[in-house]
Structure 1
Amino acid sequence: MNNRPQTIQIFLPGGDPRGLRVAEITTRIVQAIEVPRNLLAEFLKMPESEQVAVYLLVGPNDDNGEEKVYVGQTGDLRKRLAAHNKEKDFWQRALVLISRTHSLTQTHVLFLEWLCIQEAKKAARYAAENGNGGSKPHTPAPLEADCLEIFETGRTLLATLGYPVFEPVAKPATASIDPELFYCKRAGTNAVGEYTVEGFVVLKGSKGRAQVASSFVGHTFGKRRDALIQQGRLSVEGGALLFMEDVLFSSPSGASAVVCGAASNGWTEWKNDKGVTLEELKRGNTASSND
């Protein structure tokens, strides 16, 4: 994803910021439309619902709260979404990607459906409802190039609307920039993480304590830990708590608490490779700049 300045316009057809929202980058032809399920009938009256489209259905798993996503494509959006409204229970929002110039073809959306499934699974923010990713459809090189550009626009628009389905929780290392890493090495732990714009990410392969403090049972972070184990994102093996994938927490303290199995101050628990705490690096700089 290219991090460059962009102008995004969001139109509210009903005037309600919690209702239907249509987002577009002003220089591109792609639109992302967020459709709350209870406003589906209103969307199906809009001309945008007549187009060839790729769509995502998103909503939580009632058992553990994990967000789920289903990716589809269609040349008959009205019929397909109406069918999903009757047949699928989990979703709360439909996210529709269309072309303002009506230029998407069935070849485009077949490739985009496959690509969206692959990227959603790779990002692992949402549990994929699609049974499998299928095989890459044959797409002529010029159309594939168009699809890749459409996808990049769509991922930016969806993230802007609050659905970072395709965004990895941890920033991958590049040839020019390595992520700033922090470590939690309290007795029985060996965890590595990143402090990001969304919160704190504990990286795959990190090790935490399998046992928890008695005061941690029933604690908010203790419940989060149990849910992550239930989801298979954490695993208790050989007396250790293993992170099976990158896991995003809203705060450094939530991350360290799950790693340590006890309430802790993540701002002082997480340290860089020189032993400097997250508190000193991030809060200290902020405090001094305001003096």
Structure 2
Amino acid sequence: MTPFTIKTFFPSGDPSGFRISEITNDSLQAFYIPKEDVKKIVESRLELTWNGVYTLFSNPSNGNNAYIGEAENVGNRLKQHLKEDTWEIAIIFIINNREHQLSKADIKHLEHLMYTEANKINNMNLINANTPHNSFVSESRVYDLKHIFKNIDILLRSFGYPLFNKTSNFQQSKSISDKNLFHLTLRDADAWAYYNFKTSETKVLAGSKLTPQDGTISFQPKQFNELTKNGIIKNNIFKKDYTFSSSSTAAKTILKRSASGPFSWKNKEGKSIKDLAK
């Protein structure tokens, strides 16, 4: 492994939102874009009208899905995906150098390579309807594109999406027993969490939605306000995984009222934490 530096720019000033990352002295740029910001960002960035490849990711509660694509106007293609409900985060890759743009053959070759490697590693569930077709590129260009792929892998891992890396801790999270995964749907909430039966810690997963309803008189908003201030919760959605000390603390924050976590959280069979703890 060779040491390297990644530079990340946050144009909106929000550390949990849109960002642009690049490895120092390399022209590959990665645009990390939350779904709700796609239209605004795509329409304001000239670079996103260029050729590129992209990945779409769901949160773990929706099955750790991933989609790999390519387009000659990658931003416009991303807007076409907005009607789909299978993803929350898009990451676009382009070469930010007018004289060395990726060609159509390049992005088709990269898409095929990314899909093949992701399918081999099987860290996430690929939801592409078809296997991407490979295109012909010269022998020397194959090695150029392998280098670009290596940096795509590095940048994805820096964002927390090890799509091509078998040794990642991400693979370990997939092995957690289903009995540890619980769902909370009271008051129109839609939240998923892993519960630790030994410590009572409750890890709420990114993408989980809080109740859209106002808090009740019993709601103590201190922790909610703190999580909102730190960018963990934005627009009533968890933008990152967050571990609460107990299932009840998690439930109270999500439901904005007093709640008993052991009774409120249910697994896919409809059994509560309390039922399974007996």
Shorter-chain TM range is: 0.5 to 0.7
Distance 1:199 1:148 in 2: 23
Query: Which residue of structure 2 aligns with residue 95 of structure 1?
Result: 91
Query: Which residue of structure 1 aligns with residue 47 of structure 2?
Result: 48
Q: Does 1:68 align with 2:65?
A: yes
Distance 1:200 1:69 in 2: 14
Query: Which residue of structure 2 aligns with residue 147 of structure 1?
Result: 145
Per-residue CA shift, 1:254-286, capped at 9, x if unaligned? 9xxxxxxxxxxxxxxxxxxxxxxxxxxxxxxxx
Structure 1 unaligned blocks of 5 or more: 171-197, 205-219, 227-248, 255-291
Alignment of 1:161-240 (within 5 A): 161-169=159-167, 198=169, 201=172, 221=177, 223-224=179-180
**TM-aligned CA distance change 1:168 to 1:69, over 3 Å:** same
Offset, 1:92: 0.3
Amino acid paired to 1:53: G
Q: Does 1:20 align with 2:18?
A: yes
Offset, 1:26: 0.8
Alignment of 1:115-134 (within 5 A): 115-134=113-132
Amino acid paired to 1:54: V
Query: Which residue of structure 2 aligns with residue 160 of structure 1?
Result: 158
Is the 8 Å Cα contact of residues 123 and 169 (structure 1) preserved in structure 2?
Answer: no
**TM-aligned CA distance change 1:225 to 1:55, over 3 Å:** same
Is the 8 Å Cα contact of residues 61 and 90 (structure 1) preserved in structure 2?
Answer: no
Alignment of 1:24-35 (within 5 A): 24-35=22-33
Amino acid paired to 1:48: E
Provide TM-score, normalisation by structure 1. Answer: 0.57
Distance 1:78 1:112 in 2: 17
Aligned residues: 185
Distance 1:97 1:108 in 2: 12
Amino acid paired to 2:143: A
Distance 2:152 2:139 in 1: 20
Structure 2 unaligned blocks of 5 or more: 183-193, 200-278
Offset, 1:136: 3.1
Distance 1:136 1:80 in 2: 19
Offset, 1:77: 1.9
Offset, 1:125: 1.4
4+ residue runs over 4 A deviation: 199-202
Alignment of 1:278-289 (within 5 A): none
Query: Which residue of structure 2 aligns with residue 84 of structure 1?
Result: 81
Provide TM-score, normalisation by structure 2. Answer: 0.59
Distance 2:170 2:105 in 1: 38
Distance 1:167 1:46 in 2: 30
Amino acid paired to 2:160: G
**TM-aligned CA distance change 1:35 to 1:201, over 3 Å:** closer
Distance 1:221 1:152 in 2: 32
**TM-aligned CA distance change 1:75 to 1:38, over 3 Å:** same
Query: Which residue of structure 1 aligns with residue 217 of structure 2?
Result: none
**TM-aligned CA distance change 1:169 to 1:131, over 3 Å:** farther
**TM-aligned CA distance change 1:70 to 1:221, over 3 Å:** closer
Distance 2:172 2:33 in 1: 30
Q: Percent of pairs identical after alignment?
A: 27
Per-residue CA shift, 1:35-59, capped at 9, x if unaligned? 1001112221112211111001110
Query: Which residue of structure 1 aligns with residue 256 of structure 2?
Result: none
**TM-aligned CA distance change 1:12 to 1:141, over 3 Å:** same
**TM-aligned CA distance change 1:152 to 1:46, over 3 Å:** same
**TM-aligned CA distance change 1:79 to 1:222, over 3 Å:** closer
